[in-house]
Every structure is written in structure tokens, then in C-alpha cells.
Structure 1
Amino acid sequence: MTRTLVMNIEKLKMNKAIITLTRGGMELGLRLLKEYDDSVLYVNKRFDIKGERIRKINNGIMELTASIFGKYKHLIFIMATGIVVRAIAPHLNNKTKDPAVIVMDEKGRNVISLLSGHLGGANELALDIANKLNSNPVITTASDVNDTLAVDTLAMKLGYGIENYTDATKVTSHIVNGEKIGIISKNNLKIKLPDNFTILKDNKNLKKFKGIINITNEKKICKNRLDTVILRPRNIIIGIGCRRHKSKEEIIEAIMDSLNKINKSQLSIKHIATVDVKRNEKGIIAAADHLKVPLIIVDREQIRDVERNFETSDFVKSSIGVGAVAEPVAILSSNEGRLILKKTKYNGITIAIVEEGGA
């Protein structure tokens, strides 16, 4: 099947900024520049050096940091930690948005994961740099020091979303203290879990646990009195067909109503799918962007091969050449998914929902 992924152009930018001040730092930065193709190197304007991925620092570290803090996923500073702390402090938001920040001395002896160790990937990057340079990685997050698994790290490894980060912090505190944690999940977790984790079938018999990790795409779940965090597997696919010029707001409202009908969370949406003739439909593109999910485009020739399996419309077929859109695009763009909401009409918008794997 031919698919086109509509991407945010921001994702095509360089991911890593290496920032240096001294000549020794510049030499180390050049080594890192060769190691990471998605990096750019910022150097002191006094140095006579040029290159496609080399930038000059013209107005000082404070000004540079302000201009690039939200531009790159990873910031690698080769300088004193105190300078870096002062430079990034005014721009800190929260760990779901802040970039990974790495600090290194100009000899490359120590690689410090300073900010966004888990979600931002600073811990992983620090370990990778240290391995490449034969350096000492400095990781201070409690779960890593105690060789266990924080909630945000678990979610990242599984590719799941976190419903509430405050809840995640509460459960992680139980994890790092070695207390028993229960995981309620219908999905097969293909990663090694710490010894204090136990897989549970349901929300019963929880007396021996201090925290619960509930992995589900269901919007409403049974509550318990323990500290609980909900992880959202991204296994819901929204198939959309619509008339021309339907607005973003109308499409989002239709999606939300459809999810509510089957008690599914919007955080579990993996992607939105539609037919190739709708690849430039502004409302669909804007809805996908608003929900922060990819938009998958399915060719009509692929739909023709399977449309006999779906309820078709003569009007739709006369208009675009195929008799069904929402259901087949959702199925075709999934990984052996099953239809959990048949096509549902909303004033010129048709929604169908497919689920991959378990809930």
C-alpha cells in the first residue's frame, strides 16, 4: 500500500545544537559534529572557522540560549555547568516541553545529563556521547541511579502517552523507594520490568501495592484509592471522509464524539487516515496538527481492492471513484486492526475507528 505521511516541517530541522566558547571546546564540538549528522555547532565568533553546519555566536551565551532553546531537541553545552544553569534558567517550562540539556567539559572527561533526562532523552544521549568519547556519563535521576524504571521512562520505551504527569511523579516515587507497583494491562509488555513490578489482570486485590500503572485506551476507568497513573497506548486509528471545506473545529468535534461513543481516549490516537483526494483538505490537516498526530493518506486504488468488504455509497463513488472512505482507510492504514466503530456521519463528515492489538 502506498502511504503519504503529512509531516510538520519543523521535524525536518536539525535536532542537536552543540554550543562552545573556547578553542578546546570547539575542537571537541567538531568531533561531535562528525558523530551526529543532525547537529550544528555554535562557536565563538573570534574563531576563523566555516562550515555548512557551523554557526557563530555573535551576542553571548545568554542571548544565544534564548534564541535556540525551543528550536532544538538537544542542547549540548561544552562549558562550565554554572554558565549553562544561568543561561537556561529563564526559559525552563516543564519536562514535557523542555529540550534535553547536556553539559560537558572541554576535555570530554564528563558528560552530564542536566535537564530532561527521561522524556527529553538527555540520559540516553549522555550515555551515547560518553560511549563515543570513552567518557564518564553523569546521570543523577533516582530511577537510573537505583537501576529501576521511572514511569516516564516506561512510557517512552513502550511508546505510550502519559495521562497526568503529576500522577506519574507520585507513582515513580514509590518505584524508586522499592515499593510494590502493580501494572494493569491487556497488552503484552515486551520489556524487562523491575522486580517490584507485578502484572495484574484487573483492579482487584491491590492491598499489597503502593502504586498502580494502568495501561488502557479507555477514557473512563474504575478508580482505586492508590496512587495511579494512566498510560495511553497509541493504538486508535481515526478514518475520516468529508465534504470539501469542513472546518477543523467540526472535524475535531466529530472525532471527540466518536471516541466518547466507544469510551476511548484521544491520547490513544495513533494517526488519522483519509483518502488521497483529501490530502490537501485544510480542516483534516489542521485537526491532525491540533491533536498532534500524523495524517496518513491512502490511495484510492488500494481502497478499490477492498471496498467490496464495506458498505458503499453510489454518490461517493461517483464523486471520487471509490464508494467508501472512512472504514477502509482506517483498516488499510492499521497494523491488522479491527473496526470498533463503524462509519458514523456528522453533517458532511464520516468517522470510523479502528483499534490495533489490545486496549
Structure 2
Amino acid sequence: MDIGIIALTKNGANLGYKLHKMMNYSSFYVKDKFYREGPNVISFTEKMKVLVKDIFKKHDCLIFIMATGIVVRSIAPFINDKKTDPAVLVMDERGTHVISLLSGHLGGANEYTHRVANLLGANPVITTASDVSGTIAVDTLAMKLNCKIEDFSEATKVTAHIVNEERVGIKSQIPIDFHLPKNIEVQQEKIDNSLKGLILITNKEEVNKPIDDTVVLRPKNLIVGIGCRRNKEYEKIQEALEESFRDLNLSTKSIRHFATVDVKKDEVGIKKLADKFERPLKIVAREKVKRVEDKFIGSDFVKKTIGVSCVCEPVAFLTSNKGNFIQRKRAFDGITIAIFKEGDKNWT
């Protein structure tokens, strides 16, 4: 993660240089009068608000070594949304306390706070209710499980039930291998209607919500293999994808990545699709496809054209960590789509 450290005073600068050397992928912004040459050390002369405007979106985490009031006034104009704001930490210049100020859960500020405190022997100051009470917030749960929250307003409601020690159910398609608070109860097929809240972890688009306060988390466990004719229009590929998902009642928010063969790595329509859904595009070498292509129905024409007899099924299979088919090859006009559910051993 990319970290920005900022200091204004002499003592703050000394602590900043120390922390900068201890952390990977960090940049240190220091007032010009305390500048010492070094890797990724940047001097500044402008006012704090001007500097913050320039760097607020450049880093995953910002660590300010100065008074909390200065930081609050400096970042206030640039705070937008907890889903996108960076983690913000504040330290006193003696390194006695480290405060998680902004984006404690989704931005990872709480975790950064503990990390910095451990490095410096400081006192971590965490104020989020779920952490103070030893429970877990829905957004923290989603982060741990690499899930996407469907509705943040519902997440807030369910988190309130958890923090207030009310009974909340959880029903999940994926394994949960860490301890849950005692008031979060695992549900099987039948859901207890007396629950105050419910967490559903599913890749299904349409779901039954028997509890009013229900939040849906989307696990990123679907692999989409794609093949297509050269220069196939992006819009047609998107239509094929969405039709496949709609017919299977699957959520596109659960796509972990797309996959195709190396000869299609520059196919504009496929690349644009991956960009549209903000998911990675994995490229599989034809030599790897050749090792498994006999497991799938192939085409002599495709074999003659690109050197392998099939694309969408083997590339999905090879990048799924021994997952299972949800949809075998489905052909559209010049497009093929296969969908795998990723193997549980690599679900995060």
C-alpha cells in the first residue's frame, strides 16, 4: 500500500524520517527547513491545505505528525465518501499516540494505526464502536472476506444491531475461517425470523430477505472465460455477459476476474469489458490451454485459426483454482462465455 507521511516541525520531521525508513512504499513530505535528502523525501513550502489538496488522492494512507486540529481543518474540504477516501492517521510529534482519524474500516486506518503503533511502540487510539466493543462491523467483515457491500445504508443498520449486542444472522456461500462475535449466528437453510438483522453472502442476484434489516455481501468468486471473433464489438460482448448472468441469477458484482487466451490479449472489446466492471483480465498462454483442451469440446476451425481448439472454458478452468463450472461454453454471435465458481481454497 502507498503511504504518505507529513510533518511540519523539527521533532515531527525527526519522527517522520524514522517512520519513513521503517515502512515500505512510503513518501515523506516535510517542511522545507527540515528537509534532508533521501529516497522519496519531498520538501514543501505551501500551506497544509494546498499540500493536502495535491496528495489526498495519491496515497492509500496519509499519516500526519502534528496536532489533530490542523489535520481536521486541512482534510475537511476533500473528504468525499468512506468507500473512496484514504485512511488518515494522526500522531503527536513524540510518537506517544497514533490516532485512526478517517476511514477506519474500509480505508484500513485502524489496521494502519496498529501497524504504526507496533513499529514505534506507541499507543493506538481507535474510536470505531465495533472495535472498541470487540465486535465486528459489516464493512470490516466484507473486507476480511473480499466481498462487495450491496447497500451501505443496510450495512450501517446491521452493524448497529451487532454493536448493540442484538442477534444477527449470517448465511454464507463461502467459508468463514475466523471467529465471529457470539451475537452473530450462522444460519443454515431456514433463517430464524426473530433475528434483528441478517448478513447474506451470496453471488445470486435475486435473494430472499426474510429479515427487514438485511445486508447482502457479494463474494468475488466468479471467473468469466471469454472468447470472441476478432474486433467483436464491446457492446455485443457485454450483452452476452449480462444475458448469461441474468439467466443464471448471478450478480456481476461477484466477478473476480475475466480470462482469455494470449492471442486475444489486445482485443479491444474484451479489455473494455474488464475496464467497465473494474475487474482484472487474466491472459492464459496457448501452451497452457493445449495441456487441458482435450477436456473440453473444441472446434477444428478455431484450432486452425489460433492454435488451440477452445478458449472460454479452458481459460476459466485454468484461472479458477480448481473451481466448478456454473456455465459451460455458451455461444452467442461470434462470442463464447464460460463461468466458473472459484475453488474455496483461494476464495479471498
Q: TM-score, normalised by structure 1?
A: 0.93
Alignment partner, residue 281 of structure 2: 295
Among candidates 82, 100, 125, match of residue 113 of structure 1: 100
In 2, the alpha carbon distance for the partners of 1:200 and 1:259 equals 26
The one-letter code sitting in structure 1 at the alignment partner of 2:112 is L
2:237/2:269 contact within 8 Å kept: yes
The one-letter code sitting in structure 1 at the alignment partner of 2:224 is I
Superimposed CA distance per residue, residues 94-145 of structure 1 (whole angstroms, 9 cap, x where no aligned partner): 1110000001111111100000000100000001111111111110000000
Among candidates 176, 180, 184, match of residue 163 of structure 2: 176
The runs of 5 or more residues in structure 1 that have no matched partner are: 1-13
Q: Does 1:51 align with 2:28?
A: no
In 1, the alpha carbon distance for the partners of 2:239 and 2:96 equals 54
Alignment partner, residue 221 of structure 2: 235
Alignment partner, residue 270 of structure 1: 256
| 1:304-319 correspondence to structure 2 within 5 Å | 304-319=290-305
In 2, the alpha carbon distance for the partners of 1:253 and 1:21 equals 54
Q: 1:253 to 1:87 in 2, by over 3 A?
A: farther
1:245/1:283 contact within 8 Å kept: yes
Among candidates 316, 325, 342, match of residue 311 of structure 2: 325
Superimposed CA distance per residue, residues 51-104 of structure 1 (whole angstroms, 9 cap, x where no aligned partner): 221011132210111111111100111111111111111111111100000011
1:203/1:224 contact within 8 Å kept: no
Among candidates 127, 149, 165, match of residue 152 of structure 2: 165
Among candidates 131, 137, 151, match of residue 138 of structure 2: 151
1:42/1:57 contact within 8 Å kept: yes
In 1, the alpha carbon distance for the partners of 2:184 and 2:125 equals 26
Alignment partner, residue 74 of structure 1: 61
Alignment partner, residue 95 of structure 1: 82
Q: Does 1:192 align with 2:182?
A: no
SS at match of 1:252: helix
Alignment partner, residue 205 of structure 2: 219
SS at match of 2:34: coil
Superimposed CA distance per residue, residues 334-359 of structure 1 (whole angstroms, 9 cap, x where no aligned partner): 11111111212232221110012479
More displaced 10-residue stretch of structure 1: 346-355 or 65-74: 346-355
Q: 1:254 to 1:272 in 2, by over 3 A?
A: same
2:320/2:343 contact within 8 Å kept: no
Superposition RMSD on alpha carbons, in Å?
1.5
In 2, the alpha carbon distance for the partners of 1:210 and 1:291 equals 33
Q: 1:100 to 1:48 in 2, by over 3 A?
A: closer
In 2, the alpha carbon distance for the partners of 1:234 and 1:186 equals 11
SS at match of 1:179: coil
Q: 1:89 to 1:249 in 2, by over 3 A?
A: farther
Alignment partner, residue 11 of structure 1: none
SS at match of 1:305: helix
1:161/1:267 contact within 8 Å kept: yes
SS at match of 1:46: helix
Aligned residues: 345
Q: 1:48 to 1:235 in 2, by over 3 A?
A: closer
State the shift of 1:190 in Å.
Answer: 0.5
Alignment partner, residue 266 of structure 2: 280
SS at match of 1:37: coil
Q: Does 1:86 align with 2:69?
A: no
Alignment partner, residue 36 of structure 1: 23
1:203/1:222 contact within 8 Å kept: no
Q: Does 1:27 align with 2:14?
A: yes
Q: TM-score, normalised by structure 2?
A: 0.96
The one-letter code sitting in structure 2 at the alignment partner of 1:316 is V
2:197/2:211 contact within 8 Å kept: no
User: What is the percent sequence identity of the aligned residues?
Assistant: 52
More displaced 10-residue stretch of structure 1: 239-248 or 296-305: 239-248
More displaced 10-residue stretch of structure 1: 280-289 or 292-301: 280-289
In 1, the alpha carbon distance for the partners of 2:190 and 2:16 equals 51
The one-letter code sitting in structure 1 at the alignment partner of 2:77 is P
The one-letter code sitting in structure 2 at the alignment partner of 1:314 is D
The one-letter code sitting in structure 2 at the alignment partner of 1:354 is F
More displaced 10-residue stretch of structure 1: 125-134 or 224-233: 224-233
State the shift of 1:243 in Å.
Answer: 1.7
